[in-house]
Structure 1
Amino acid sequence: MSITVGQLWHHPVKSMRGHPVDEVVLGPGGVIGDRAYGFVDVQTGRLVSAKHPKRYGRMLDCVARFTEPPRVDRPTPPVAVTFPDGETLTGDEQAIATRVGELLGREVRMVTSVPPGVPYEEVWPELEGFGPDDFYGALQITPGEQDEAGERVLAIPTGMAAQGTLLDLAALHVLAESTLRALAAAYPEGQWDGRRFRPNILFADDGPAPGAEYVEDGWIGCDLRIGSQARVHVVAPTPRCPMPTLAQGDLPRDPGILRAVARVNRRELGGMGQFACAGAYAEVVTPGVVRAGDEVRVTQTVAESSALASAMEMISEGLRAARSRTPAGGS
């Protein structure tokens, strides 16, 4: 099977739209500059994330670009943010925060890091077989609460497997074009554009691996050698939240996107249960420059300990314990 790097993205600001680039630099913690900036809601003290769409979904109306390519040996460059009315603010973090606050109707401050334990908010479905309070405890997250729209939201610690970053969980998110084609066949009414899923790397490939319906299934536990330098280890499928269903630039809101993924591509994540998945989470083994068009080689490898694998095992153990405490027939 032929695999190359199809598209690469920089997402400088958490939950804002990013932009395609010809190359990225992979460091130990993922793409250098990925979600380098974010915003904290002054009222709640939580990291702003469009995974709580009714409160923060308008973040996706903004586009963020670095003023110069980020590099390993340099400070993170400033960003230029273009707002829905077309105005672009460059470098002035206070002015950008003020405009974002006006857009959201909430006071926010721009940050490049948050203290350990600061959460982001997410609308998350309850799992079957045990009570939601057990689920919250297993994930070590704040119990669900109702927001002003009556939705139940969770507060999940930021960077569970990527400590010190503004990432949700893993350091790297990859996706294959053949997965988008397979999902499009299941739901042809949808616009299956890679931008919806906000990957770091979109791979161009000619089909799934033998015995796997989706190509990422065959990559779990393998290394991907990308170009002449970089090597990443694929750890787990990527569970999808409602974010790919939201309007993003010229992509319309479409709840059918997530319903289609849930219908045709549910995957077991350790002991956590089944989730609607598309793409895969990975970690960087060997840093290096990745360029569009680079050849990708899939190699079997001996399983190694990793922050992501450890975080997922911790969650799985917590869920198994929660299930064992749940009385038969109860919740």
Structure 2
Amino acid sequence: MAEIIGVIEQLWRYPVKSTGGERLDSVEVDERGLAGDRLYAVRDSTGKLGSGKNTRRFRRMDGLPRLSSRLGRRLDGPELYDPLGRPVADPTAFLRAYLQRPDVALAREDAVSHFDQLPVSVLTTATLDWVREAAPGAVVNVRRFRPNILLRTPPGTPPFVEDDWFGHEVSGGAGTRLALVRASERCVMTTAAQPGLPHAPEILKAIAQAHGGRLDALAEVVTPGRLSVGDELSLN
């Protein structure tokens, strides 16, 4: 029997990878994830994508979290905003000057996925409240953790309840079904300064000590549909 595990309190999409995202009331979910999520990225001449870390696929580009992006109703090109929230007329020209990297450009996803791991991230208010208690000196905001879905859980729900859902599917909204697989492995992006949020290394330290640096539930899309704020999610 399906169990209601929470209500969608916030929906987020991040049109340009590693920049601040846009908060939505409702969004289509396709096989790839939330429509338009991480569809664009800052790409250098070697094909690496701008991120908060250096790996085989990613290149650390400090300053990206201070920017934000928005798609609105369009998927054919994002709007990019500078650290003061002003729209940028020419995103590639701005990024080259802002990052001091003449070889970067704003690029749409092609054969190489822009996702770090899996396409949909679900975070509960129970876990977010725990972070606030574990790092009382930090400014804790959901934007630090970049989930797609912030799920309001019932009072008394323990932190890291997401772990109990791995291996199950959740359903909600207009036919959407997600398979919950594992947690995100958190990196310095969690601590990075962004508008209204100063650098906060104590957050990552607290998560590492209490939960091995893992936070949220990552999911794959089983059945596309639509999600809206206020939708109940049921565990199957």
* TM-score w.r.t. length of structure 1: 0.65
Give the 3 Å change call, closer, same or farther, for CA 208–77 of structure 1 in structure 2: farther
Q: Which runs of 5+ in 1 are unaligned?
A: 71-75, 117-164, 267-275, 300-331
Once residues 86 and 175 of structure 1 are traced to their aligned partners in structure 2, the CA distance between those partners, rounded to angstroms, is: 26
Query: Who is 2:73 aligned against?
Result: 69
Once residues 213 and 59 of structure 1 are traced to their aligned partners in structure 2, the CA distance between those partners, rounded to angstroms, is: 29
Query: Who is 2:11 aligned against?
Result: 8
For residue 206 of structure 1, report the CA deviation from its aligned partner.
1.9
Once residues 86 and 26 of structure 1 are traced to their aligned partners in structure 2, the CA distance between those partners, rounded to angstroms, is: 27
Bigger relative contact order (CA 8 A; separation at least 6) = 2
Give the 3 Å change call, closer, same or farther, for CA 85–8 of structure 1 in structure 2: closer
Query: Who is 2:108 aligned against?
Result: 112
Query: Who is 1:57 aligned against?
Result: 62
Once residues 107 and 204 of structure 2 are traced to their aligned partners in structure 1, the CA distance between those partners, rounded to angstroms, is: 30
Q: Please say which structure displays the higher CA radius of gyration.
A: 1
> Does residue 36 of structure 2 align to residue 33 of structure 1?
yes
What's the RMSD between the two structures over aligned residues?
Answer: 2.1
Query: Who is 1:281 aligned against?
Result: 218
- 1:78-128 Cα shifts (integer Å, max 9, x gaps): 2211112554135xxxx2111011111102122112444xxxxxxxxxxxx
SS in 1 for 2:215: strand
> Number of aligned pairs?
229
* TM-score w.r.t. length of structure 2: 0.89
For residue 178 of structure 1, report the CA deviation from its aligned partner.
0.4
Query: Who is 1:162 aligned against?
Result: none
SS in 2 for 1:180: helix
The letter of the residue matching 2:78 is V
For residue 207 of structure 1, report the CA deviation from its aligned partner.
5.0
Query: Who is 1:325 aligned against?
Result: none
For residue 213 of structure 1, report the CA deviation from its aligned partner.
4.9
Say if 2:7 and 2:233, in contact at 8 Å, map to a contact too.
yes
Aligned identity (percent) is 33
Summarize the alignment of residues 121-132 of structure 1 with structure 2, pairs less than 5 Å apart. none
Give the 3 Å change call, closer, same or farther, for CA 241–208 of structure 1 in structure 2: farther
Once residues 192 and 96 of structure 2 are traced to their aligned partners in structure 1, the CA distance between those partners, rounded to angstroms, is: 20
Summarize the alignment of residues 239-250 of structure 1 with structure 2, pairs less than 5 Å apart. 239-250=185-196
For residue 57 of structure 1, report the CA deviation from its aligned partner.
1.9
- 1:205-231 Cα shifts (integer Å, max 9, x gaps): 12576xx65210111111111124111
Once residues 54 and 62 of structure 1 are traced to their aligned partners in structure 2, the CA distance between those partners, rounded to angstroms, is: 17
Say if 1:186 and 1:264, in contact at 8 Å, map to a contact too.
no
- 1:234-291 Cα shifts (integer Å, max 9, x gaps): 001111111110012101110001000011112xxxxxxxxx1110110111111100
SS in 2 for 1:102: helix
Once residues 99 and 298 of structure 1 are traced to their aligned partners in structure 2, the CA distance between those partners, rounded to angstroms, is: 44
User: Which of 216, 221, 238 is the matching residue for 2:167?
Assistant: 221
Query: Who is 2:47 aligned against?
Result: 45
Q: Which runs of 5+ in 2 are unaligned?
A: none
Query: Who is 2:83 aligned against?
Result: 84
Query: Who is 2:209 aligned against?
Result: 263
SS in 2 for 1:238: strand
Query: Who is 2:127 aligned against?
Result: 179
Query: Who is 1:290 aligned against?
Result: 227
Once residues 110 and 53 of structure 2 are traced to their aligned partners in structure 1, the CA distance between those partners, rounded to angstroms, is: 18
The letter of the residue matching 1:110 is L
SS in 2 for 1:88: coil
User: Which of 146, 151, 163 is the matching residue for 1:203?
Assistant: 151
- Mean Cα deviation higher: 33-42 or 253-262: 33-42
Say if 2:50 and 2:59, in contact at 8 Å, map to a contact too.
no
